[in-house]
Amino acid sequence: MKIALAQLNYHIGNFDANEAKIIDCIAKAKAENADLVVFSELSISGYPPRDFLEFDDFINKCEQSVMQIAQYCNGIAAIVGAPRSNNSGKGKRLYNTAWFIADGEIKNLINKTLLPTYDIFDEYRYFEPNNQFEIIEYKGKRIALTICEDLWNVDDVPMYSINPMDELLPYEPELIINIAASPFHYKQAKIRQEVLRKNALKYNLPIYYVNHIGAQTELLFDGGSLAMNNKGELIEELKYFEEDFRIIDTEGEHSVIQQQSSTKIQLINDALIMGVRNYFEKLGFKKAILGLSGGIDSAVTLVLAVEALGKENVEAILLPSQYSSDHSIKDAEDLANNLGIKAHIIPIKSTYQSFEKTLEPYFSGLPFNIAEENLQARIRGVILMGFCNKFGHILLNTSNKSEAAVGYGTLYGDMNGGLSVLGDVYKTEVFELANYINRQEEIIPINSIIKPPSAELRPDQKDSDSLPDYDILDTILFEYIENRKGPNEIVEMGYEKAIVDRILKMVNTNEHKRYQTPPILRISSKAFGMGRRIPIVAKYLT
């Protein structure tokens, strides 16, 4: 049997576009003599549809699309993913379903058994788990059709009390098909392949796996769909961060291949570019704007935006104050020239002085402090948002994960934006990204990379005045945020207790700021946003 793997970039709720993509791929697979074409989990609706699933109209449109697609499945079968109404009269109102279509009609409905409800996943909020097991017989093959998490219960300490493949094994399947929506983080591709390898070895069956690609707001999907033999060896791997299509003959001879190799920073770079590009495309926007300071964060964000959207669609605003250094302005100008983008210089000193005059009766006799510093950041934020409103741009936020973690940013100032590009990228990783960008030529001025980081909101200010060195800060943040280690565990790793306690306190007391940030493109296993739910009014470690 010839199986086509169709790895596509879907758009949540864009039924016409999703349907057209699927129908085109069915025609392509049929023209190339495939017997079966496989699409990913919830391909009809896009993933994750979240509370759209609570609307009957949304579910009706999903089911109408499936029926429309079925008309094209003559002489070829297709597997598509879509929500389906649960009409049993008990349990959640929907199933997460793989629809097996052949001869122009729905032949089998396979519901997802294991519903992830952790980190970014919230499927049990919407779906009823499957409790009936069957295999699909097609073209003389017995197929175990599974959906994403259904194959992930293979750890030494299983998360779930049931394993779908154990239930299907008595029916003697000959191959496993898994349709998935497996979001990206920079370690996920290796983890995913290891999970699939364990299944192939445990059940002695080949696996055909189809994933999403593309960005859905903050969630990024990297693709990497594949075929694996019953020895857990990779025999086919589709592209990463691109749509792709491949036909595999289950009866053919296949050479074993190596997994595509990319460095962590290359993966992050490619994922962020895709994330920015898709955010604009799917919202119907073209133009991005950002504040360019001459520092490394705004420089990296600008380069990624130009790569994603084209230099004609990105504009930079330089907003120097009386505390901005001459070299920062020059570094920003040099970068804009290197990229060939439009840039404007709008000094904010006179605007700041107007605010000082307005507040003078109330601030008189009080020392300069964070109030005056934040005024500068908020003036910049107001000007940037003014450009957005006047010209229809989206403001890109340039704050990094280290800053977001400890609250080193100004609400309604430099924390403004429609999309946070680097909000899941630690400062040390931003330096790595800058060097990766400059790997062939100097695009980002070297001075932006090597100079001590500074917000330049007061004379001779340095980030190190307020924060530990980023090498120390980022390591402690990683252990607390990604690895969920407590203060005693981190101290036992050799870090000074006073520094650990101070950093963790800053993280937890600044949760209220992160509730008000723009969506953050997720590139790590634990990003701020939907996957990390921390109370604001809490006493722990504060």
**Residues involved in catalysis:** 41, 112, 148
Contacts of 142 (CB under 8 A, 6+ apart): 135, 136, 171, 172, 173, 174, 175
* CB atoms near residue 516 (< 10 Å): 10
Q: Cα–Cα distance between 535 and 530 in angstroms, integer?
A: 13
> For residue 397, what are the β-bridge partners?
420
Q: Cα–Cα distance between 259 and 318 in angstroms, integer?
A: 43
Distance of alpha carbon 144 from its chain centroid, rounded?
29
Of the candidates 422, 429, 400, the residue with the CA atom closest to the CA atom of residue 263: 429
3-state helix, strand, coil in the chain (%, to 5): 40, 20, 40
Task: Quickly count helices (H) and strands (E) in the chain.
Answer: 16, 19
Tokens of 180: 């998935």
Tokens of 155: 């750890």
Q: Cα–Cα distance between 477 and 136 in angstroms, integer?
A: 48
401 and 528 Cβ atoms separated by less than 8 Å: yes
Q: Cα–Cα distance between 383 and 421 in angstroms, integer?
A: 20
C-alpha distances out from residue 230 to 59, 203, 207, 235, Å: 37, 8, 7, 10
* CB atoms near residue 524 (< 10 Å): 21
Distance of alpha carbon 233 from its chain centroid, rounded?
28
Q: Cα–Cα distance between 19 and 15 in angstroms, integer?
A: 6
* CB atoms near residue 509 (< 10 Å): 15
Tokens of 417: 């934006």
Give the long-range contacts of residues 198-203, CB within 8 A, separation 24 or more: 198/154, 198/232, 199/151, 199/154, 199/165, 200/176, 200/228, 200/229, 200/230, 200/231, 200/232, 201/230, 201/231, 201/232, 202/154, 202/165, 203/165, 203/169, 203/173, 203/176
